[in-house]
A and B are shown apart, each in its own frame.
Chain A
Amino acid sequence: MKLFLALAILCLTAIKASAGDEKPVEFTLQEKQMIVAHGPWPLAMEPDSSNRYSGSDVAIAFGQRLFNDTRLSSERDLSCATCHKSSQSFADGMARSVGRNTVDRNTPSLANLRLNRWFGWSGGADTLWGQSVRPLQDEKEHNLTPDVLVERIAEDETLLGDYAQAFGAGVFDHEPELVMANVGKALAAWQETLKTPRTVFDQFRDVMAVGGTDYPTGFSLSAQRGLKLFVGKAKCSICHFGPNFTNGEFHDIGLSYFIEDGRVDSGRYAGIQTFQDTPFTRAGKYSDERPETAQKAPGQFVQLQHRNWGEFRVPSLRNVTNTAPYMHNGSLQDLNAVIDHYSTMDLERLHINGESLLQPLGLSDDDVSDLIAFLHSLSGAPSTQ
């Protein structure tokens, strides 16, 4: 009995000592500045000036109904919600989604979209409404032509009324392509309302921003070490920067971008070509933005470059733990696989004069655990706010 008690006391002491031995994480001034730059959250999100219905309650309600309406597909069996499931952070958990056929890319989560400069993995659109039109017309997805879209709206008195109420004119008063643009704008108005909440990281960051030390207890030491790696040795924050944890740009990170044997997803290269070929842009004829500002939009200056071949957009990391699998093709099943990719990066995959930032990180198992703990601190499923 005495021996048992002694052992128990010894174990408890050891556990306590172990927990107490965890050193508090100290951040340099530079690290603190980097961390503070990842907030505040939430950001103010102004209505989209290229979409006159952005922020309109009527358009938002109509957009939400359309988002869930399977009649917006050629065979009446797919809606936006088929792949963007509200129960899965508006993604679908599949590596590559299935519409009419298996598509080439992973379904991205929908949240905080007003903060995007480019949309989709390849930036084929510079407006959310332009991006919303793309899957509607894609043969592998909704496969819907503007003419069929008009027919589908016209066959239902409720949809006809909703359209007229939202856009101030009947569906037959508009050219089919304008109807497509308007439907895109209603869908965008709804999607813009999907935002991720404040998280324990945001609380931690806000305390740091005012020079405080009373950090939230929910932000563990492991998460703090992960954060230190994130803005330091691992250099994640170079691309996953700012309150939305993305620089919004495109990079080749050394992943394969074959879709299947010999067929390549050229990523940003194709995205630029798509963008330059669509009327649904900030400076296009369906945009509501003033020409003075639309003509200064980034899309007006974009040019095809060799480096664009195989580049994909840097995704936000807010709520990242709930949006597996990862990467443009869903080829990495979990965050361990993602971090392992960066930790053991194959430099043969990158041009020597290309992404010079990327080097194998050589992270330890503890580093990986800490980084994942930090990423969990960004979790919070999107909802209408």
Chain B
Amino acid sequence: MNLRQIGLPLFILSGFAVLVGNSYAQQKSPIIDTHIHYSHDAWEIFPPAKAIALLRQAGLKKAFVSSSNDDGTMMLHAQAPDFIVPVLRPYRRRGELRTWMHDPASLENVKTRLQPGLHRGIGEFHAYGDDINTDVLRGVIALAKEHDLFLHAHSDAEAVDLIFEQDPTARVLWAHSGFDDPEDVMVMLEKHDNLWADLAFRTDHAGNGKVDDDWRVLFEKYPDRMMIGTDTYTPERWPYVVAQAAWSRGWLDDLPADVAQKIAWENAENLLQARRKTDD
């Protein structure tokens, strides 16, 4: 199914959402959370069934999960294959996030762990500026290209530019929207057609159920490019997925229904359905 094929049903659903009006907060409307980690220290406290139950309690439609190490993601996927979207994290432990790009074993880990057809992306990885030009990152970007996977990059704008320099056909989900200002995020979205951005661990875009004016401009100019995320970077943040979803529904309610629905889950669905444009 290509983008055009999935576009019609999504369009119909969007139209329905407009008809029923803004109701994200009231109806516990679906959300795809694109930024979940299920890392080693969470497995005992929240065994897979309990973790899945929390995600469902949050009213999620799907969850993009990456874990240090990938066993966590595999455990959740085995429990709920239609619900969990596996994304391959390069780290064996979360503590590698500052050093992995200089460790050839990280790339070997990715090559060993990668299951084409099962993993839908590689990330969330941390890389800034020139890190993208290390052998490890070059290898990861090449693997993503080879297997048509998106890259979930916790990066600054310079690193995102360098990813697209290496592979203009790459699809990048920009973690935390780079913690950049909305104006700068907008510049990046304008520059790169295949760039999406998640809003994990940031609250500057909304407060007390109201969307910030500058972010509203961005959301309405690029309604197809933004996504919701939580970032469960410690085990204690797993219960927060529920609170985060409720909070997100609050501010989504402040947007036009069609825009809200795109940000809530349609854009994530589109990222999964999108296919790489060939170079030739």
B201 and A351 contact, CB distance less than 8 A: yes
Chain A residue, CB-CB nearest to B45: A262
Measured CA separation A307–B207 after assembly (Å): 13
Contacts of A351 in B (CB 8 A): 201, 231, 233
Q: What 1/0 mask marks residues of chain A from 332 to 374 whose CB sits below 8 Å from any chain B CB? A: 0000000000000001110111100000000000000000000
With A351-B201, A353-B201 given, is the CB distance from A306 to B235 under 8 Å? no
**Which of these, B179, B208, B234, contacts A349 with CB under 8 Å?**
B234
The yes or no answer to A33 lying at the interface (CB within 8 A) is no
The yes or no answer to B243 lying at the interface (CB within 8 A) is yes
The yes or no answer to B111 lying at the interface (CB within 8 A) is no
Measured CA separation A348–B202 after assembly (Å): 19
- Which of B94, B202, B234 gathers most chain A CB within 10 Å? B234
B50 and A352 contact, CB distance less than 8 A: no
The yes or no answer to B276 lying at the interface (CB within 8 A) is no
With A258-B45, A262-B45, A310-B236 given, is the CB distance from A352 to B97 under 8 Å? yes
A309 and B231 contact, CB distance less than 8 A: no
A-B contacts at CB below 8 angstroms, number: 60
Chain B residue, CB-CB nearest to A273: B243
The yes or no answer to A256 lying at the interface (CB within 8 A) is yes
The yes or no answer to B30 lying at the interface (CB within 8 A) is no
Contacts of B154 in A (CB 8 A): 352
Question: In the complex, which residues 82-129 of chain B have their Cβ closer than 8 Å to any Cβ of chain A?
Answer: 93-95, 97-98, 126
Q: What 1/0 mask marks residues of chain B from 249 to 279 whose CB sits below 8 Å from any chain A CB? A: 0000000000000000000000000000000
A258 and B235 contact, CB distance less than 8 A: yes
With A261-B45, A351-B233, A353-B176 given, is the CB distance from A266 to B203 under 8 Å? no
A264 and B233 contact, CB distance less than 8 A: no
A306 and B203 contact, CB distance less than 8 A: yes
Measured CA separation A264–B207 after assembly (Å): 23
The yes or no answer to A13 lying at the interface (CB within 8 A) is no
The yes or no answer to B77 lying at the interface (CB within 8 A) is no
Smallest distance from the beta carbon of B179 to chain A beta carbons, Å? Answer: 6
Contacts of A304 in B (CB 8 A): 203, 207-208, 247
Chain B residue, CB-CB nearest to A310: B236
With A261-B45, A266-B240 given, is the CB distance from A303 to B231 under 8 Å? no
The yes or no answer to A30 lying at the interface (CB within 8 A) is no
Measured CA separation A349–B231 after assembly (Å): 13
Chain B residue, CB-CB nearest to A265: B236
**Which of these, A258, A262, A309, A353, contacts B243 with CB under 8 Å?**
A309
Q: What 1/0 mask marks residues of chain A from 134 to 160 whose CB sits below 8 Å from any chain B CB? A: 000000000000000000000000000
B95 and A309 contact, CB distance less than 8 A: no
The yes or no answer to B28 lying at the interface (CB within 8 A) is no
Contacts of A305 in B (CB 8 A): 203
Chain A residue, CB-CB nearest to B235: A258
Measured CA separation A352–B231 after assembly (Å): 11
A256 and B94 contact, CB distance less than 8 A: no
Chain A residue, CB-CB nearest to B46: A262
Contacts of A306 in B (CB 8 A): 201-203, 231, 240, 244
Chain A residue, CB-CB nearest to B207: A303
Contacts of A354 in B (CB 8 A): 201
The yes or no answer to B56 lying at the interface (CB within 8 A) is no
The yes or no answer to B237 lying at the interface (CB within 8 A) is yes
Question: In the complex, which residues 232-281 of chain A have their Cβ closer than 8 Å to any Cβ of chain B?
Answer: 256-258, 261-262, 264, 266, 269
The yes or no answer to B168 lying at the interface (CB within 8 A) is no
Q: What 1/0 mask marks residues of chain B from 42 to 68 whose CB sits below 8 Å from any chain A CB? A: 000110001000000000000000000
With A306-B244, A353-B176 given, is the CB distance from A264 to B236 under 8 Å? yes
Contacts of B179 in A (CB 8 A): 353
B203 and A309 contact, CB distance less than 8 A: no
Chain B residue, CB-CB nearest to A262: B45
**Which of these, A261, A303, A309, A347, contacts B237 with CB under 8 Å?**
A309
- Which of B50, B154, B179, B235 gathers most chain A CB within 10 Å? B235
**Which of these, A303, A310, A349, A352, contacts B203 with CB under 8 Å?**
A303
The yes or no answer to B239 lying at the interface (CB within 8 A) is yes
Smallest distance from the beta carbon of B188 to chain A beta carbons, Å? Answer: 17
With A269-B243, A304-B247, A310-B236 given, is the CB distance from A348 to B201 under 8 Å? no
8 A-B contact pairs sorted by A residue (CB < 8 Å): A269-B243, A303-B203, A303-B208, A306-B202, A349-B234, A351-B201, A351-B231, A353-B176
Residues of A bordering B, CB below 8 Å: 256-258, 261-262, 264, 266, 269, 303-307, 309-310, 347-349, 351-354
